[in-house]
Chains A and B, each alone.
Chain A
Amino acid sequence: MSSLEIIIFIPFLAALAIWLGAPARLTAVVASTVNLLWVIVLAVRFPAFKSATDLAFVNKHVVLDNPAIAFAVGADGVSMIMALLTVLVTFAAIWQIVDKPSMYHISSLLISGGALGAFLCTDLFFIYAFHEVALIPTFLMIAIHGRAEKEQRLAVAWKTTIYLGAGSLVLLAGLVWAVIEFSGGGKLTFDLVALRAQAASSPLPAAAQAPLFFLLLVGFGTLVSLFPFHSWAAPAYATAPTPVAMLHSGVLKKFGLYGLFRIALPLLPSGAQVPWVQQALLLMLLGNILVVGLVTLHQKRLDDMLANSSVMHMGYLFLGLAAGTEIAVKGSMLLMFAHGVSIALLFAICGRMRNQLGTLEMAKLGGIGSHAPFLTVVFAFGAFASIGLPGLANFAGEVMIFMGAFANGNSSSTLIPAQGLTALHWTVILALWGVVISAVYMLRGYRAIFQGTPQTGLFMSDPASGQWLPLVLLAAVLLAVGCFPSLLLDLIQAPLVPGAIP
């Protein structure tokens, strides 16, 4: 039994124990702490354990022979980073649950276990399956414990269900197609390692890669709120209970990107570079950055603003995908982690504020900084990270993406032939304005809420001792990774893009 299997099953077993009557908070906190420490230990020992195939801690139980499906676990550098993100956010999300029904703990654990399974399995069937498992508690929590009137939260839950359900079925069709395409004539196999090897040894012609890549882009993209399939995401995060908002926007949503970067890209390396796919992708990601960015500017409530900003920032990650250079893809991995940590931090604070203040209308808030200096500082960490301030984790990722994308612009297709700039160049230039937009809404929100004169009747206190731990942890990670991105990037040693422009 591999350590990874135990890590995956700890949250499920803990959830089962709570369902059967174990004390909810104790069990959940113990499980998430054990997982956090264990994954950190594994990440530290990871380089020493890597095998020839760049996978560590592999193990495999065969489920079917043809098509070959196995419960196969194994971690490469990227899945190690994603696992770290998962356990970190899980720990914070569970720790900050206070005085809630045990369903909160069970759901958080199930989402966490599903995400870990999706990131640590190397078999397409189980990757897909674990992600689906994590979606069910998300729906239930939004529908039952969501923070809106019953009619409204049900509508949000159904919208999320239908978008994500349809998205994952499109994804399933894409995965099945990929399996048929890359099994190499013989037995079908869902083994991602084998499929990657086959794609590397006998790749499809670029034109043939395009439709499959596009199908996977729509499938995975819907899960990551790619414009124009994004309209479920903002209301879902604004409505979801805090731990679910943290876990879904921070971790589970990254599954779609993980799939695009680790399944679609290695199998179809030229897929995103085929002109029509690239142009479509560039338009969609500009939709994320600019259209959703402008929508975010107009939000009046903190939770709506954070939710929309989370959708908007996905655009940068899709830019990394469209660029397809090694440095941009590596930057995307870093940004996935950084965005997950920063958005979880912001949602955690947002949840506290909602509980204490009862309103998140930015116009009605103000001067919280004078009552709650600690929260103010931590929120600033999250907000500045989210803008992309140097020294915090998101910055390194964004810079790598922009540089990688601009570098590859030279070889990309020319959509608007003006002054030698290609479509990719123009997109980078336009996307950079997203940073400005982020700065405007984040700083404006920060000023409206934390600075100025305190509003009468609204009192916000710093968390009691013990409750600050998850916030400090997340902020510290943002700072550490921001100053030393190599902490994470060194985990990735094999090239991420087959035959990429370095």
Chain B
Amino acid sequence: MSVFNLEALLALLGLFVLLLEAFVPSVSSKALAGICMAGVAGVLVLLVTVAGGQDALPAFIGAYHQLDTLAIFYKAFALVITFLVLWLTLEAAPYLSKFTLDGKLGEMFSLPLFVCVGMMWMASAKDLVTVFVSLELVTVSFYVLVAYTRKSALALEAGVKYLILGALSTGVLVFGVAWVYGATGALSFEGITKAVQVGGVNKTALLFGVSFLLAGLGFKVAAVPFQMWVPDVYQGASTPTTVFLSVGSKAAGFAVLTRVIDALTVSGSMVRQEVITVLSIAGAVTVVVGSLPALFQTNVKRLLAYSSISHAGFLLLALAARDSVRVDLAPGGTVAFYLATYLPMTVLGFAALIQMRLNGRGEELDDFKGLAQKSPTLAFLITLAFASLAGLPLTAGFFGKMWVMLGLVDQQLWFALVCAIIGAAAGFYYYFRVILAMFTPEESTEPVRMGALARGVCVVLGCTIIVLGVYPKPLQMLLAKVPVAGKNATGH
């Protein structure tokens, strides 16, 4: 059995759930979530078991679809985050369903599956058309998801903003793809790699196209100056959707960016220096600009949105320093490593927000006051998540940041290094504000309760943060095998 069937399997499951929800109104959201989560988990198991020795891809699909380690990693990543998003949706159902038109969450369970299919397909994309099609599948599903809780004015606003800017960025992306095709005569990454090495390409036209291409992808990963939509959309969308945008959509964007950058900066490439410069400046500015507004946020959900922008900056810097091979990580591996550490801490941070909502509290800083007395476990887990987001050592977030710094020093990108330091130092302030609020004693001590399942999943996420922070070796070994995509592409 070939791995690419997994996407088909998942799409079928999505359709089935969609129909089930439409024609059997009595089915509960618990059952729907159960089916979806079981399906995603099953596909993940299949992926892990099949990944090692899959058959060769049939020719008609092999031209568009590849299965290197990077692809398998991002497929697994998509499945894990989809699973967690489904769980979060189920967890948040009691209050989310108040904001939907029919009081049910039907499509909120099936749409993530389609998003997941899109992200998985994107991870394997070999050419820009495949990227575009799968990206659209993801984005269109997100248009619906963001505005799904439409009785909330914030969600409507978020939906409209995301729709308009999403459509605009799609246009920009297609425009860029067209120019790149016009300049290089190729749509596949392999073809582009060859074209930029060989020469005979109109460099101005190529750079013009590349800048639009990067701008389009910049929208998706929330890089400055295309980050304007993030705070409003993240705050307005239902929290599970925000997690999905913040982790899943970003990871998919970076999977594509990794491949695009690999193709454009292959050694001997005519646009290599320009692309690296653009990346390092964009990354540096993103880290700083993403961090500074966060200093003044009193809404934790909005704060996490700015944090997400800042992390996107670090990921861009990881790409900018991708030539550094001092660490046992392939160039794309640093980005993948960062994302793998980013997943548990972000999900845990947002899961905490849902728990606060379930206990009748809001998402403002003041709502976190005294949490250490009311629920020591939850307070400890949130501390862990935010310490990790700040990049404290012995938590998952540290190594990702350190690999980035190591690469920047090694590549002597000093401007970017200074910006990374400023951004990370600002992070100490805004993440610690949340931690401080939790440990500040408060008069009222009505306890904050967590369900058994929520407690279990949160503890697992917390343990993941610690394990990745103390013993990252297994993850690093996994990603050390990620091939240098440039080498991979020219090897064929």
- Residues of chain A touching chain B, judged by Cβ–Cβ distance below 8 Å, are 19, 62-67, 103, 125, 128-129, 132-133, 136, 139-140, 143-144, 157-158, 161-162, 165-166, 169-170, 172-173, 176-177, 179-180, 183, 188
B456 within 8 A of A: no
Please state if B473 and A63 are interface contacts (CB–CB under 8 Å): yes
Partner of B421, one of A132, A161, A169: A169
- Interface of chain B: mostly helix, strand, loop or mixed: helix
Partner of B436, one of A19, A143, A173: A143
Partner of A173, one of B327, B405, B472, B476: B405
Residues on A with beta carbons closer than 8 Å to the beta carbon of B415: none
Please state if A139 and B394 are interface contacts (CB–CB under 8 Å): no
Question: Nearest residue in B to A131 (C-beta to C-beta)?
Answer: B393
- Number of inter-chain CB pairs below 8 Å: 85
Q: Nearest 10 pairs between A and B by C-beta?
A: A129-B393, A165-B428, A166-B425, A66-B328, A169-B421, A165-B425, A129-B394, A177-B409, A176-B406, A176-B409
Assuming A169-B424, A170-B421, A176-B405, is B326 touching A158 (CB within 8 A)? no
Question: Nearest residue in A to B473 (C-beta to C-beta)?
Answer: A64
Please state if A125 and B428 are interface contacts (CB–CB under 8 Å): no
Please state if A161 and B428 are interface contacts (CB–CB under 8 Å): yes
Residues on A with beta carbons closer than 8 Å to the beta carbon of B470: 63
Residues on A with beta carbons closer than 8 Å to the beta carbon of B387: 136
Please state if B472 and A169 are interface contacts (CB–CB under 8 Å): no
Please state if B432 and A180 are interface contacts (CB–CB under 8 Å): no
Please state if A173 and B409 are interface contacts (CB–CB under 8 Å): yes
Give how many B residues have a beta carbon under 8 Å from the other chain's beta carbons. 33
Residues on B with beta carbons closer than 8 Å to the beta carbon of A133: 392-394
- Residues of chain B touching chain A, judged by Cβ–Cβ distance below 8 Å, are 326-328, 376, 380, 387, 392-394, 398, 402, 405-406, 409-410, 417, 421-422, 424-425, 428-429, 432, 435-436, 439-441, 470-473, 476
Please state if A140 and B435 are interface contacts (CB–CB under 8 Å): yes
**Smallest distance from the beta carbon of A95 to chain B beta carbons, Å?**
24
Residues on B with beta carbons closer than 8 Å to the beta carbon of A64: 328, 472-473, 476
Please state if A180 and B410 are interface contacts (CB–CB under 8 Å): yes
* Supplied contacts A125-B393, A188-B327, 4 more A-B pairs, CB within 8 Å: A65-B328, A67-B328, A132-B394, A165-B429
Question: Nearest residue in A to B425 (C-beta to C-beta)?
Answer: A166
Residues on A with beta carbons closer than 8 Å to the beta carbon of B424: 165, 169
Assuming A66-B327, A67-B326, A173-B421, is B393 touching A132 (CB within 8 A)? yes
**Smallest distance from the beta carbon of B483 to chain A beta carbons, Å?**
17
Residues on A with beta carbons closer than 8 Å to the beta carbon of B417: 173
**Smallest distance from the beta carbon of B408 to chain A beta carbons, Å?**
8
Partner of A161, one of B398, B429, B476: B429
Residues on A with beta carbons closer than 8 Å to the beta carbon of B392: 132-133, 136
Assuming A132-B393, A140-B439, A188-B327, is B471 touching A63 (CB within 8 A)? yes
Most chain A CB neighbours (cut-off 10 Å) among B380, B428, B440: B428
Question: Nearest residue in B to A19 (C-beta to C-beta)?
Answer: B376
Assuming A63-B471, A63-B473, is B425 touching A144 (CB within 8 A)? no
Question: Nearest residue in B to A133 (C-beta to C-beta)?
Answer: B394
Of the A-B pairs whose beta carbons lie under 8 Å apart in the complex, a sample of 25, sorted by A's number, is A62-B473, A63-B471, A63-B472, A64-B472, A66-B328, A67-B328, A129-B393, A129-B394, A132-B393, A133-B392, A133-B394, A136-B392, A136-B435, A140-B436, A144-B441, A158-B429, A162-B428, A165-B429, A166-B422, A166-B425, A169-B424, A170-B421, A172-B402, A176-B402, A176-B405
Cα-based distance from A67 to B417 in the complex (angstroms): 20
Residues on A with beta carbons closer than 8 Å to the beta carbon of B429: 158, 161-162, 165
Residues on A with beta carbons closer than 8 Å to the beta carbon of B393: 125, 128-129, 132-133
